[in-house]
Amino acid sequence: MPAPVATTVTSLMSAIADVGTDPVRGGYSRPVFSVAELSLREWFLSEAAARGLDTETDRNGIIWAWWNPGGLPLRDAVVTGSHLDSVPGGGAFDGPLGVASALVALDLMVTRGVRPRRPLALTVFPEEEGSRFGRACLGSLLLTGAMDPRVAAGLVDDDGVTFAELCSANGLEPAYLGRDDEALARLGCFVELHVEQGRGLVDLGGPVAVASSILGHGRWRLTFTGQGNHAGTTQLADRRDPMIPAARTVLDVRRIAHVHRGARATVGRLVPTPGGTNVIASRVDLWLDVRHPDDAVTERIVYEISEAAASAALREGCGVSMVEESLSGSVDFDRALRDRLRVDLPGVPVLPTGAGHDAGVLAAHVPTAMLFVRNPSGVSHSPAEHVEDADAESGAEALADVLTDLLTS
Ligand code: GLV
Ligand code: MN
Ligand code: MN
Ligand code: MN
Tens-digit pLDDT string for the chain (409 aa): 445 555 899 999 999 999 999 999 999 999 999 999 999 999 999 999 999 999 999 999 999 999 999 999 999 999 999 999 999 999 999 999 999 999 999 999 999 999 999 999 999 999 999 999 999 999 999 999 999 999 999 999 999 999 999 999 999 999 999 999 999 999 999 999 999 999 999 999 999 999 999 999 999 999 999 999 999 999 999 999 999 999 999 999 999 999 999 999 999 999 999 999 999 999 999 999 999 999 999 999 999 999 999 999 999 999 999 999 999 999 999 999 999 999 999 999 999 999 999 999 999 999 999 999 999 999 999 999 999 999 999 999 999 999 999 999 9
> 291 among the known binding-site residues?
yes
Q: Virtual CA dihedral for 16, 199, 86, 190, nearest 10 degrees?
A: 90
Ligand 4 centroid, distance to 48 Cα (angstroms): 23
Rounded to an integer, what distance in angstroms lies between the CA atom of residue 229 and that of residue 234? Answer: 7
Find out whether 218 and 135 touch, Cβ atoms under 8 Å.
no
In the CATH hierarchy, which fold is given to the domain comprising 216-328? Alpha-Beta Plaits (3.30.70)
Q: Would you state the pLDDT for residue 193? A: 98
- CATH 3.40.630.10 positions along the chain are 9-215+330-408
The predicted-structure confidence for 2-44, as pLDDT tens digits, reads as follows 455 558 999 999 999 999 999 999 999 999 999 999 999 999 9
Instruction: Ligand 1, residue 291: give the atom nearest the CA.
Output: 4
Tell whether residue 357 is among the known ligand binding residues. no
Q: Kindly give the distance from the C-alpha atom of residue 33 to the centroid of ligand 1, in angstroms, as a whole number.
A: 18
pLDDT at 5: 53
Which letter, b or e, does each residue of 391-400 get, where b requires 16 or more Cβ atoms within 10 Å of its Cβ? bbbbbbbbbb
Domain with CATH 3.30.70.360 in the chain: 216-328
Q: What is the dihedral of CA 221, 227, 233, 236, to 10 degrees?
A: -70
**Residue 188: what are its φ and ψ, rounded to 5°?**
-100, -45
Rounded Cα distance between 106 and 81, Å, is 11
CB 375 within 8 A of CB 387: yes
pLDDT tens sequence across 317-335:
999 999 999 999 999 999 9
Rounded distance from Cα 192 to ligand 2 centre (Å): 10
Instruction: Indicate the CATH number of 9-215+330-408 among 3.40.50.2020, 3.40.718.10, 3.40.630.10, 3.40.50.720.
Output: 3.40.630.10
Rounded to the nearest 10 degrees, the angle between the axes of helix 96-111 and helix 389-408 is 60
Write down the pLDDT at residue 6.
54
- Measured from the Cα of 381, ligand 1's closest atom is 2
Pocket test for ligand 1, best of 97, 353, 357, 370 (most atoms within 8 A of CB): 357
85 appears as a binding residue in the annotation: no
d(CA 111, CA 105): 10
